[in-house]
Structure 1
Amino acid sequence: MNALEKLTKQAPNLAFELPDNTPVVKLGLIATVYFKEGYFLESKKNVMECFDRFKEEFGQHLKGQFYDRYKKLTDDSFKKTTLKILETDSNEQYEWHISSAPTASEAAEYSLSALNSFEVHGDQKRSYLKITFPWDFLQQADGAARYQNWLVYLCNQVKAEHGYGGLSSVLPYDFDSYMPMEFQLAQQFPGLEVDSMVHNFKRELLDHIKGVNWYTILGATFVERLGGEALLRHAFSGRGDVEILSYDNGLIIRAGDLPQLGAEDEPLPSVYVAINKVVKPLRIPNPDQLHTYSPYGNCFEEDSTARWYARFDRDDNATTSSRVESGKPCTKEGYWFTPAQANSRRHFQQGEIMPSFSGSNWGDTLWYWSGEN
């Protein structure tokens, strides 16, 4: 079963409707980017260009919008809202959502959201853009490519400082009642991004990133903190399932051709684990709760939040001999890779002699356990 077939099989278990058939939880494909200085007019113009392009491409699906209140989206109301935002003061906040959901109580398949920071806050808060597609966008022949094009476009439009993209539980605009469902699903599927309260991270993510998903976006400052682009590319050069893309203000790391949900009864997606190992120093060290208190059931609290952030962490000391020098016998059957050669990931039998690659700029050939048999 390939990744898309597996996702197709899992997807129905990640959607919920009320007895009247109102969809309240959907499996979506999201991308969220954080950026500086969203209060400048130039930034607002760039964000409005994103909304224009989104409406032009997906307008046939769009039915509702939130700006001050949730209401019907029309060509006229779209134009009026655009002008209002462009006329806002640098210390005036705008929050705009356009969506395929006709009401605030329904989960959307398509949406674009933006929230800006104030000039008075200076560099102490971030603005964000978030886009949502239905998960089965990936079933289209060009769906994955279109999604990636949108993600890169958003990053370039706002000179994204960092962000992420992948699968997520999509809740209604009025999401509070359904946070327990998001919590439960996130316990079962580590590949699900918990993103219902994206607005809560604007201050927390000043100097840190949220973590790893299918796409992990790192602005130039964060790339330098990891040792620079060359070192980052070399760290993944032995893995054929990691691709590093460039955008105007940094790099985007993609974990495989398609996103993975994972599951409680399965090993963690090894490519997510590998990327997490490299970018972990950038992650929020003491994260606030992913959810606020909810009277409707269990939600993310302090301990469960910490576990969720650490879901792709793996103690290499717990795995014996996770590194083997060339010329030595393989210590564990499974997949290994070496930074000494691009696309070197391959399967070895226990006891098989690990090969060496001469002439590598990396130096000695060291093989690393890939995390799967």
Structure 2
Amino acid sequence: MSDVENKRSVVLEPFAAHARYFEDLSVRMPDNSFAVRPGVIGTIYFAGGSKPDGRRGLLACFDRFDELFGEHLISGKDEDLATFGKKTTKGVEKIRKTISETPEFMDVSVMRSSAPNPTTAPEYQIRTLTGRANPEDYEAPTGYKVPKGEEMELSYLKFSVPMELVTRSEGLEQYESFLRYVCEQLDVRGGYGGLSAVTAYNYHNWQAQEWAIAERFSGIEIDCCAHLGSEEYDPVSYEGEEGENTMPTAMYRYLKPYTKVHRWGFIKGVNWYTLLGDVFVERLGGDAALRKALDRDDIGVERINHCVLVRAGPFPRLGAPEEGLPEPYIFVNKVLRVLRNPKPDGLHFYDPHLPNANSKHARSWQARFDLPNAPPIPEPPKIVPPRPGKMRNSVRGGSPCPEAGWWYTHAMQNSRRYFKQGEIMPVVEGSSWGWTYWIWEHSQDSSS
């Protein structure tokens, strides 16, 4: 361990961190309510939020959160522009129906919360904003086609529990168990979890306070605008030209080799939990290489479906002034930092009057766990490189085949078959495996 990493040896466990710094992590109002309060969050970006399987998984997550913490959930909203308010049993059922019955071409934006009003920060909360499916067949002027039903963006789910919950071992287990459950239910492409300054529903008013808290405590995640991050985790490539007066001749919702990069895809950074979708694991050399690079007793590496969960230490760290930068976070960051955006956008909405996580501050904040001699984050390529060896992402049923060749699925026996590039890969209904994922075997003329 370097002198920089070892210059402070104080470690605040959650109980001590909460007891010592609760007020410093909060914004208390004159009526003794809180507009900002410390919590433990989970923010998950996932695909398939417009599809029936994704909606079923999303509903299962909301129902499980209700089983765990429903006694605290008294309010919420059942659509994007709905008024935040108290929810009776009838209101809760309307939220559930919104998740399960909203048409694919419309997004789902619902929330359940423990806050009594929109100006009070919740202790417990779960919310989502889903992607949408293309409502009809579309052909661009340049000729490329977008079929009806193709999903247009990623979805996100975010939940939070009070910091006090994880000061007890059973509460810590509840948080981790629910995070794993979410990863089991959804097609996760990335995300993170850890301590955060949870704001009231009117979060626009509290960006400066969230920034001030995050500047002081390195373990605090800036996340009141989490919905802005979904594009970062969503790679897209294209052919042709892209500009003010030009349009691509083809667009792909993945990184097709030898095409041009529209969005490379990045992770936000490292916290207690860092969730890596297949595309990010592949960039690090695959599961085995990632486990080898993070091989240390206090670091957890766990694969759940199409996501790897990396846990930096046995409990979330605050990174208080007397602690310095949490060493497990530094260790994990050494391996994962290459996945970050070298030129990130701001993490808050623009406000010229108050300091917040604008693009300049976001860059320094995301680099807070970098050591002084760390090399620059590599710039993404302009052309998608060929994929190495057998490291190819599995493909969810209902999606176009990204690469011609032989594929198979565990969802049914004798499933091996050849797909042409762009051919829709079918969904196996009623399978005990749940969602259908097609796995690459080899190309037509190679066994590699």
Instruction: Give your verdict on TM over 0.5.
Output: yes
**Aligned 8 A contact 2:189 2:233 in 1:** no
Partner of 2:17: 7
1:73 is displaced (CA, Å) by 1.4
Residue identity opposite 2:233 in structure 1? L
Matched, 1:92 2:106: yes
What is the DSSP-based 3-state SS (H/G/I as helix, E as strand, rest coil) of the residue aligned with 1:191?
coil
- Is the 2:194–2:273 contact (alpha carbons within 8 Å) kept by the matching residues of 1? yes
Offset of residue 2 of structure 1: 4.9
Structure 1 counterpart of 2:252: none
> What aligned pairs does 1:242-253 form with structure 2 within 5 A after superposition?
242-253=299-310
Aligned to 1:156: 184
In structure 1, what is the Cα distance between the partners aligned to 2:196 and 2:319?
Answer: 12
- Describe the SS at the equivalent of 1:20: coil
Which of 188, 201, 222 is equivalent to 1:194? 222
CA–CA distance in structure 2, aligned partners of residues 245 and 317 of structure 1: 27
Give the Cα separation in 1 of the matches to 2:318 and 2:167.
Answer: 16
User: 2:327 is aligned with what amino acid?
Assistant: S
Structure 1 residue 16 corresponds to structure 2 residue 44: no
| Residues in 1 aligned to 2:279 and 2:206: alpha-carbon distance in whole angstroms | 36
Partner residue, 2:116? 102
Number of residue-to-residue matches in the alignment: 317
Question: Which residue is 1:224 aligned to?
Answer: 282
1:209 to 2:267 alignment = yes
Shift of 1:213: 0.3
Change (3 A) 1:203 1:141: closer
Q: 1:142 to 1:265 in 2, by over 3 A?
A: closer
* Counterpart AA for 2:291: R
1:184 aligned partner, one-letter code: A
Mapped to 2, the partners of 1:204 and 1:248 lie a distance apart of 21
Q: Aligned AA for 1:134?
A: P
Greater CA deviation, 191-200 or 61-70? 61-70
CA drift of 1:295 comes to: 6.6
RMSD across aligned C-alpha pairs, in angstroms?
1.8
Distance in 1, Cα, partners of 2:57 & 2:351: 36
| Matched-pair identity in % | 36
Unpaired segments of 5 or more residues in structure 2?
1-10, 135-145, 235-264, 376-448
- Of residues 30, 49, 71 in structure 2, which corresponds to 1:60? 71
Distance 1:80 1:270 in 2: 45
Does 2:284 align with 1:273? Answer: no
Q: Deviations over 1:204-254 (max 9, x none)?
A: 2212111100001112222111001111111122x2221112212121111
Residue 283 (structure 1) aligns with:
340
User: Is contact 2:42–2:191 with CA below 8 Å preserved after alignment?
Assistant: yes
**Shift of residue 128 of structure 1?**
0.7
Q: How does 1:11-90 map to 2 (within 5 A)?
A: 11-67=22-78, 68-90=82-104
- Partners of 2:45 and 2:157 within 8 A in 1: yes
Mapped partners of 1:124, 1:54: distance in 2: 27
Query: Match for residue 130 of structure 2?
Result: 116
The structural deviation recorded for 1:125 is 2.3
Give the TM-score normalised by the residue count of structure 1.
Answer: 0.81
SS at match of 1:76: helix
Residues 140-193 of structure 1: CA distance to partner in whole angstroms, max 9, x if unpaired? 231111111111111111121111000000001111111110010111011100
C-alpha deviation, 1:139, in angstroms: 2.0
Which one has a larger percent helix, Structure 1 or Structure 2?
1
Match of 2:240 in 1: none
Q: Which amino acid aligns with 1:236?
A: L
Q: Find out whether 1:136 has 2:147 as its counterpart.
A: no
Deviation at 1:81, TM superposition (A): 2.2
> Which segment drifts farther, 287-296 or 130-139?
287-296
Change (3 A) 1:278 1:123: farther
Q: Deviations over 1:255-279 (max 9, x none)?
A: 1111111134643111111111111
Give me the whole-angstrom Cα distance separating, in 2, the residues matched to 1:26 and 1:169: 6
Cα distance in 2 for partners of 1:210, 1:284 equals 7
CA distance, structure 2, for counterparts of residue 51 and residue 259 of structure 1: 24
Q: Are the equivalent residues in 2 in contact too, given 1:180–1:296 (CA < 8 A)?
A: no
Equivalent position amino acid for 2:67 in 1: E
Q: Which amino acid aligns with 1:86?
A: S
Contact residue 177 and residue 296 of structure 1 kept, 8 A: no
Deviation at 1:317, TM superposition (A): 6.5
**1:124 and 1:283 mapped to 2: Cα distance?**
23
**For residues 72-115 of structure 1, what are the alpha-carbon distances to aligned partners after superposition, in whole Å with 9 as ceiling and x for unaligned?**
11111111221133221211111111000021111000000111
Give the superposition deviation at 1:38.
Answer: 0.9
Distance in 1 (alpha carbons) for counterparts of 2:15 and 2:94: 43
Compare 48-57 and 4-13 and name the one that shifted more: 4-13
